[in-house]
Amino acid sequence: SLENPEPRTRARGIQLLSQVLLQCHSLLLEKEVVHLILFYENRLKDHHLVIPSVLQGLRALSLCVALPPGLAVSVLKAIFQEVHVQSLLQVDRHTVYSIITNFMRTREEELKGLGADFTFGFIQVMDGEKDPRNLLVAFRIVHDLISKDYSLGPFVEELFEVTSCYFPIDFTPPPNDPHGIQREDLILSLRAVLASTPRFAEFLLPLLIEKVDSEILSAKLDSLQTLVFQTASERVETEGLAALLSLTACLSRSVLRADAEDLLDSFLSNILQDCRHHLCEPDMKLVWPSAKLLQAAAGASARACDHITSSVLPLLLDQFHKHSQSNQRRTILEMILGFLKLQQKWSYEDKDENPLSGFKDQLCSLVFMALTDPSIQPQLVGIRTLTVLGTQPGLLSTGDLELAVGHLYRLSFLEEDSQSCRVAALEASGALAALYPVAFISHLIPKLAEELRREESDLARGDEPTKCSRHLRCLQALSAVSTHPSIVKETLPLLLQHLWQANKGNVVAGSTEVIAICQSLQRVAEKCQQDLESYWYFHETAVPCLLALAVQASMPEKEPSVLRKVLLEDEALAAMVSVIGTATTHLSPELAAQSVTHIVPLFLDGNTSFLPENSFPSRFQPFQDGSSGQRRLIALLMAFVCSLPRNVEIPQLNQLMRELLELSCCHGCTFSSTAAAKCFAGLLNKHPAGQQLDEFLQLAVDTVENGLGSKASRSQAFTLLLWVTKALVLRYHPLSSCLTARLMGLLSDPELGPAAADGFSLLMSDCTDVLTRAGHAEVRIMFRQRFFTDNVPALVQGFHAAPQDVKPNYLKGLSHVLNRLPKPVLLPELPTLLSLLLEALSCPDSVVQLSTLSCLQPLLLEAPQVMSLHVDTLVTKFLNLSSSPSMAVRIAALQCMHALTHLPTPVLLPYKPQVIRALAKPLDDKKRLVRKEAVSARGEWFLLGSPGS
C-alpha cells in the first residue's frame, strides 16, 4: 500500500509504519535507521495528505539512539525545505516542534554545525504560529536557541520579530479548555525569551516604550484617573499606582543603561500634561487622583521625583494663593506635603542641589500662613509640612527657624479644643529640636523657663485653674523638646529646679504638680534612652536629686508642715517610682554597678554622702527607724534595684533581703509593706538558681507561714505570698505550684478569700513597676497558658467542693484567669467550663459577671451549636444583666445579646418579641455607650427571620 496511487491509502500505510516505529524505535539498528530516514525524507515530497504520517515517522526516528551523525541535519533541512509548516494542522505542527526539540536535545553539536541556517529554518517554521500549546513549545525552543548559544547570524532581528509580535500576551483560555494553559504560562515563557539575551535589548526597549506609550500612558493613565480613582476600590487604586510606580522606576533604570536621555522625561511630561489641568481646576474635583498619580511616579526614582516636583510645586504654590477657603488651602498644602515627603525619601542620594531650595522662601511663607490659619486642619497640615521641611537640610534659614520656633511655642499652649494641633506641635518640636538644638535652646527654652518662673510666683499667690493647665502645657513642652543631648542639659535642670521650688515651704504645691513634673521628667528619660551619654547624665542628675527631695521630706520635723508631705503621698511616690525605673532600665551593667554602690548603702546604712543637698536634721534609717515616712521611701529603692540588669551585683544583698522580708510583714503602713514585698519579689525573680535562692525562698515561706498564723499581720503575709508567687510563676520556678496551691487554699478563707480571688488578677496581669520585661525580669512567654493548664482544673474542683458562701471567690479567681488568657487559647477549653460560666452569670459580683460575659461572647460567635442548647438561660440572664447598675456589665450584656443573633434563627425566633420589647429599655439608657450597643443589638434582632435580611 506504500505505493498505492491513491494518496489516502499511501497515507494509511505510512501511518501504520510510523506507529510501528514509534513503538520500537529503540530496537532499530543503525543500518535500518539510515534506510528509513532516506525513505521518509523522500516521502516529504509526497502528496500533502501523506505529510502528517511522514512527520510522525520522523518523530519516531528522531528518538532513535542509533541515529548516525549527519542525518539529523539532513532531516531538518528536508523539513525546512519541503514542508510549509504553518499550513499544517495544530497536531502536525506540534510534531514538527517535537522533532526539532528531540534533535536539539540529543544532537546539539550537529545542529550547531548547521549555523545560522538552522535558526532561519526555525524562524520560518514558527512564523505565524497561533496555538498556545505550540507557542509554549516554540518559545522554549527559541529560549534554548539563545541560551545554548546557537548561531543566530544575521537573523537576530527576525527571531525577535517572530517572538515579540506576541507581546503583550492577549489570551484568555476558553472556559472548557482541557489543556490547562494559563495566560501566565505564556507570559512567563515569552518573557523568558525576550529577556534571554542582551542582543534583543535594542529591539525590546523601543517596543516596551512604545507599548507603554500607547497603552499605559493613554489608555491606562486615562482609565486610572477616571475609573480607578472613582470606583472607590482601594485595592484597584493601589495596584494601579503600584504599577505606575514600578513602571517609572523601570524606565528610570533602563534609561540610565541605554543612554536615551529623554525617555523618562517624555513619559513624565505625558503624565504631567494629563494631570496639570486637574490640579488647576477651581472645583478641585480630580486633584487628589492626579496628585496620587504624580506622587506614585515621583516615588519611583530621584530623577522622576525632581522632574515632577520642580514642575508641580510652582503650580501648587500658585493654586494655594488663588484659593482662599481654608479647607481648599489645606488640600493643596497636603498635596505639597506629599511631594515634599517624596523628596525626603530621595534626599539621601547624593545630589548637588535640592530642587526644593529654589522654592524654600515660598514654601516657608506658605507654611507660616497655614500655621496662623484660623481653623485647625490647615494648622495640622502646616505643622506636618514644617517638620518635613525641617528634615531636609538647608531649607530653613536661621530666621525661618526662629519664626517656626515662635509658632511652635504658641501652638504648644493652645486650648483644650485644639488638642490634636497641640499634640502635633509638640511632636514637631521634638523632631525639629533634634535637628536644630541651638535654635531651640536659644529661642524656646528661655521662654519656657520664664513661663515656669511665672508659674512659681503665681503658685505662691494661690492656685488658678487656667494657670494650672498652662503650667501643665509648659511641662509637656519642656519634655517634648528634650530630643537632643544638649537640650536635655538645659531642660532637666529646669525641671528639677522647679520640683525643688515646688517643695520649698513658701509654695503651695499639690500632689498634682509633683506628679505633673514627674511625668515630664519621665518623658525626658524615655527620650534619653536612645542616647547612652544623655541617659547616664539623666540618671546621675535626676535620681540623686529625687532621692534627696524624698529623704528631706521624710525627715521628722519640729513643726509638722503639710506641704512637705506631698512628696510622700502614694501618687507622688508612684510618679517618682516610674521616673527612677525609666532612668535605670537602660543603664549598662558597669554604670548600673556604679550607681548601686551609692543607693543601697543609702537605704541600709543611711549613707547620704552622694545626695546633692545632704545636710539633714537627723539620720535616714528606713529599715531601723520607726518613722513611717522614711519607710515609704522603700518604694524608691524598689524602683531602682528592680530595674537593674540581671548581672549587676547588689551589695549587701543578704542583709537587704532580710530587711525587706521583715518590713513586708510589718503592720501599720500597707504602702511600705507592699513596696517591701514587691521589692523582695523583684529581686527574687532575677536571682540565679542556687543555694542562695533556696535560702531566700525558705526564708520567705517561713515568714509567710508565720504571718498567716498570727492575727495581726495576716494581710501583709498574704501580700508577700502573692508577690513571691508571681515572681516564681513568671520564671516557671518549681516552687510556684506549691505557692499557688497555698493561694488557692486561701480562697475559702473567710477573711482573705476575696483578696485571694483578686490576687489571681495580679498573677495574670502585667505590672508596670516591678517584674517587667523592660526591667529585665525573667518573664517566660507562655506563663499565662501554663498557669491556666496547671491550675484551672484545681480551681473548678475547688469550686464544686467549696461551701456556698465562698463559691463566688472561686468563680472570681477563675474569671480573672480566663479573662487574661488569649481568646484563641481559651476557646477550645470553654465548652468544658460552660456550666460553670452559666452559673457565674448569676453571681452578684460585677467583676465575675463582666469577665463571664466577655468569655461567652466569642463562644457565641464560634460555637453557636453548643450554645443554642442553653438559649433560654442565656436570653434571660443577658436581659437581666442589661439593666445592671454597672455600665460595663450593661455594655457587655448587650454585646452578648447581639452575638446571640449568630445562633440558628429557628432557635431564636420564639424569643424575638420578648427580646425586642426588652431591648427598648436600654435604648433610653442614660449612657451613650450603652445606647449604642442597644441600637445595634436590637437592629439585628429585628432582622431575624424577617424578609430581606
Per CB under 8 A, the list member of 30, 202, 215, 464 interacting with another protein is 215
| CB neighbours of residue 441 within 10 Å | 18
Stretch of 139-147, 655-663, 698-706, 934-942 contacting another protein, by CB under 8 A? 934-942
Distances (CA, A) of 936 to 852, 896, 919, 946: 21, 11, 10, 16
940 binds another protein (CB under 8 A): yes
Q: Are 718 and 756 in contact (CB under 8 A)?
A: yes
**How many CA atoms does the CB half-sphere of 8 hold within 13 Å?**
0
The CB-of-229 to another protein minimum distance in angstroms stands at 9
Between CA 228 and CA 237 the distance in angstroms is 5
Centroid of chain to Cα 93: 55
The CB-of-518 to another protein minimum distance in angstroms stands at 22
Stretch of 230-238, 467-475, 600-608, 616-624 contacting another protein, by CB under 8 A? 230-238
Of residues 309 and 884, the one with the C-beta less far from another protein: 884
21 Cβ contact list (under 8 Å, min separation 6): 28, 36, 57, 60, 61
Stretch of 69-77, 109-117, 167-175, 451-459 contacting another protein, by CB under 8 A? 167-175
886 binds another protein (CB under 8 A): yes
Per CB under 8 A, the list member of 126, 209, 286, 294 interacting with another protein is 286
DSSP secondary structure string for all residues of 734-762: THHHHHHHHHHHGGG-TTTHHHHHHHHHH
Four-residue CA torsion sign, 752, 753, 754, 757: positive
855 binds another protein (CB under 8 A): no
Stretch of 39-47, 160-168, 471-479, 486-494 contacting another protein, by CB under 8 A? 160-168
Q: How many residues does the chain have?
A: 949
Q: What SS3 state is found at 49?
A: coil
Stretch of 41-49, 433-441, 669-677, 932-940 contacting another protein, by CB under 8 A? 932-940
Of residues 45 and 179, the one with the C-beta less far from another protein: 179
135 binds another protein (CB under 8 A): yes
68 binds another protein (CB under 8 A): no
203 binds another protein (CB under 8 A): no
Of residues 314 and 939, the one with the C-beta less far from another protein: 939
Helix (H) or strand (E) holding 636: helix 634-641
948 binds another protein (CB under 8 A): yes
168 binds another protein (CB under 8 A): yes
Per CB under 8 A, the list member of 3, 5, 109, 170 interacting with another protein is 170
Whether omega for the bond prior to residue 168 falls within 30 degrees of 0, making it cis, is: yes
Of residues 35 and 130, the one with the C-beta less far from another protein: 130
778: exposed, middle or buried (Cβ count in 10 Å: 0-12, 13-18, 19+)? middle
3-state helix, strand, coil in the chain (%, to 5): 75, 0, 25
209 Cβ contact list (under 8 Å, min separation 6): 251, 263, 267
Residues of span 726-745 touching another protein by CB under 8 A = none
Q: What SS3 state is found at 802?
A: coil
Per CB under 8 A, the list member of 39, 203, 783, 942 interacting with another protein is 942
Stretch of 691-699, 726-734, 899-907, 929-937 contacting another protein, by CB under 8 A? 929-937
The CB-of-370 to another protein minimum distance in angstroms stands at 18
The single residue listed with the C-alpha cell 527576525 is 158
Stretch of 285-293, 473-481, 561-569, 736-744 contacting another protein, by CB under 8 A? 285-293
394 binds another protein (CB under 8 A): no
Strands in 397-485 per DSSP E: none
Between CA 78 and CA 40 the distance in angstroms is 10
Q: Which of 164, 165, 248, 158 is nearest to 212 (CA)?
A: 248
Stretch of 55-63, 212-220, 573-581, 595-603 contacting another protein, by CB under 8 A? 212-220
238 Cβ contact list (under 8 Å, min separation 6): none
417 binds another protein (CB under 8 A): no
Q: Are 796 and 788 in contact (CB under 8 A)?
A: no
Per CB under 8 A, the list member of 3, 232, 734, 800 interacting with another protein is 232
Q: Are 455 and 497 in contact (CB under 8 A)?
A: no
The CB-of-206 to another protein minimum distance in angstroms stands at 14
939 binds another protein (CB under 8 A): yes
Residues 243-282, one symbol each (x = binds another protein by CB under 8 A, - = not), give ----------------------------------------
Amino acid (1-letter code) at residue 8: R
285 binds another protein (CB under 8 A): yes
Q: Which residues bind another protein (CB under 8 A)?
A: 130-132, 135, 165-171, 174, 186, 215, 219-220, 223, 226-227, 230-232, 285-286, 288, 885-887, 920, 923-924, 926-929, 931-932, 935-936, 938-940, 942-943, 946-949
